[in-house]
Structure 1
């Protein structure tokens, strides 16, 4: 496994010149996918995002330098838990951020709760994280398996889409996405005409797309992410499905995915995202700094790491403590406001109540600059997509 550590030095020179002594570092671990199918949307970029958050906080909190450590969980729950235990027990890490893949995130959040530490989950979105497995020190920052389908299907229904076919990965995340699509389709008076699942890393989606084509839907909803999602769309283009007027609604699509396949093949596809770099002056400012280090703008998941670490550090300062439970309480109390998330709050179950953006992939003619890939169709308010009441399966929120 690959592990790295770095003290973010922004502001440290002034602190040293003041003559004050340092305490032990406050450590934040970025546990991510550095080499798998979603590494482009998290990975090194998530580490950079965390470092930018630390830099914006001045590099020091409560008289302690802030240190970022990182590791690749290799998409394996056992590897992720081994790293997290070492971080908590031996390296005295105070919080873990990112954690893509739901099965890994659930284990990390449970472990963090047991250790009195903070889990900042921006890379995973199973409902269980703020449902039956919710934690007083766990937070679901960027997306979940209810919000993405709801936003995408509601918007498509408004434009006349009635018949849906759902494809996705054959594990809990994909299953939850499938059920969520079915629920919203029913709510909008539509029809679910079929579903198909495939394992992560499938090399050919021809059988899924043939089944979809035979069902004659108005749209295919895909919850495949990363390289898997790109390959499915590539296969759909090769089959001529888009040319035949079938709509592809990708429930998880990032600008890095569009970059890898190209606007000519991706044009017209709809998706929902928590962040797009070219939304306003603040997002463009953040993207510029991020791009200077990464060579491209941040994904929504990487922006989620920045936002969650930023809010965590604000809460540490406000609480005057690094105690996990005390910081978590302050995180719930404080509003979320940063360059990537202008206005949000945390629900009692740990879910961040945030607006989402429905976007459409531009055509090559519409794109005017590098990474100018999405046009914003509409902003969907948190209240449209998420109930005010916490998840009833979260016992913490009902006590």
Structure 2
């Protein structure tokens, strides 16, 4: 839609805010890279819509819900931001969700795992673009329990994400005949995991599952190796691992770890083309959350251009009725509970000698079709689902 005007755009500019952890334990998985992904989406949008002005605001919420809420409240109010994207922390997301609902403004989440966002706390204006904890745990649990690995112990981050991930895991385990032998929770940014690992070891569980990410997962897996547990009988599972985690810990530590991801840069020619551009700007290959930020921003801007307005209801309706058209989730659509429904991949970290090129850390074990990756709508606790029936 070349030549698109801004006559029906408030302030004659579309304002987008990227908020995430840019300095702490979750900064590698999105952080500055998430901002770069948003900028790339705006650049690509402007190739077709050069007349539509777009302004990007960025902020570091420091993984603190009060700081995140304060920033987003100001953005929606004083600064006239139309859409907030990323967030990358479940506790911050729950705080932001309430503000976006009250202000009738869009927020699109990438790396936010808690199922509450599209469950009991779902909102007409809060969209989940990447994953939730059910997506992440269902595939690995079903596959491993089917192989006889039916007793699990959890080491989890002690905030909304980790608590919800363990709860979702326990529900799935029970449904397939598995058993939980215990769970321990550590503070965000914890450094010493010795006592937690010893509890996992003494539990006798066949699987030790880690419900954390970023620096936390890297640190605990390094200590797992230092404690000699990598040569023991227990199987480690990263319920949430990002490409940057594998890069930070190295394949000597990561080898054999299984995880589920919504996207991987080395899937096909289109994903590799985006990754090459992103690497040139960021010096690292893109993670799934960073690819999701690109996709969310581009899809949102295409909807704004199509309806010639930044009015939330109009834009949201266009986003719902138009399938995603990009390398991230081609053909994906928004469900009644505001989840973007797309395929996932069960991947395993390669052994050191298997990596044929830089950043190619994963081998795809199996594709998880969208129909199998999501909790059925019939089990949803989102009030929007009942209204849609």
TM-score by length of 2: 0.94
Alignment of 1:230-241 (within 5 A): 230-241=218-229
* Selected match of 1:68 from 56, 66, 74: 56
* Selected match of 2:295 from 304, 307, 315: 307
* Selected match of 2:134 from 142, 146, 163: 146
Alpha carbons of structure 1 residues 337 and 156: separation in structure 2 relative to 1, 3 Å: farther
Alignment of 1:75-154 (within 5 A): 75-154=63-142
Aligned to 1:389: 377
- Deviation (angstroms), 1:387: 3.6
Distance 1:389 1:177 in 2: 19
2:273 aligned with 1:290, yes or no? no
Aligned to 2:366: 378
- Deviation (angstroms), 1:62: 9.2
* Selected match of 2:207 from 216, 219, 227: 219
- Deviation (angstroms), 1:290: 0.5
* Selected match of 1:249 from 194, 217, 237: 237
- Deviation (angstroms), 1:235: 1.1
- Deviation (angstroms), 1:15: 6.5
Aligned to 2:350: 362
Distance 2:47 2:73 in 1: 25
Q: What secondary structure, in the 3-state scheme, does the structure 2 residue paired with 1:192 have?
A: strand
Output one character per residue of 1:72-119: Cα deviation in whole Å (capped at 9) or x when no partner.
Answer: 111111111111122111221110000111121122122122222110
2:143 aligned with 1:155, yes or no? yes
Output one character per residue of 1:215-259: Cα deviation in whole Å (capped at 9) or x when no partner.
Answer: 122211111111011111111111111211321110111111111
- Deviation (angstroms), 1:391: 5.7
- Deviation (angstroms), 1:123: 2.3
The farther-off stretch of 320-329 and 374-383 is 320-329
Q: What secondary structure, in the 3-state scheme, does the structure 1 residue paired with 2:281 have?
A: helix
Aligned to 1:52: 40
Q: What secondary structure, in the 3-state scheme, does the structure 2 residue paired with 1:58 have?
A: helix
Q: What secondary structure, in the 3-state scheme, does the structure 2 residue paired with 1:57 have?
A: helix
Q: What secondary structure, in the 3-state scheme, does the structure 2 residue paired with 1:279 have?
A: coil
Distance 1:154 1:372 in 2: 26
Q: What secondary structure, in the 3-state scheme, does the structure 2 residue paired with 1:105 have?
A: helix
Aligned to 1:350: 338
Alignment of 1:335-346 (within 5 A): 335-346=323-334
Output one character per residue of 1:177-224: Cα deviation in whole Å (capped at 9) or x when no partner.
Answer: 111111222222222222111111222111111111111222111111
Alpha carbons of structure 1 residues 71 and 226: separation in structure 2 relative to 1, 3 Å: same
Distance 1:264 1:159 in 2: 25
Structure 2: where are the runs of 5+ without partners? none
2:309 aligned with 1:317, yes or no? no
- Deviation (angstroms), 1:63: 4.2
Distance 1:209 1:337 in 2: 44
Q: What secondary structure, in the 3-state scheme, does the structure 2 residue paired with 1:112 have?
A: helix
- Which structure has the highest helix share of the two? 2
- Deviation (angstroms), 1:360: 0.4
- In 1, are the aligned partners of 2:85 and 2:110 still within 8 Å (CA)? yes
Structure 1: where are the runs of 5+ without partners? 1-10
Distance 1:133 1:162 in 2: 32
* Selected match of 2:255 from 254, 267, 287: 267
Output one character per residue of 1:248-277: Cα deviation in whole Å (capped at 9) or x when no partner.
Answer: 110111111111111111111101111110
Distance 2:120 2:360 in 1: 40
Where has structure 1 moved over 3 Å in runs of 4 or more? Answer: 59-63
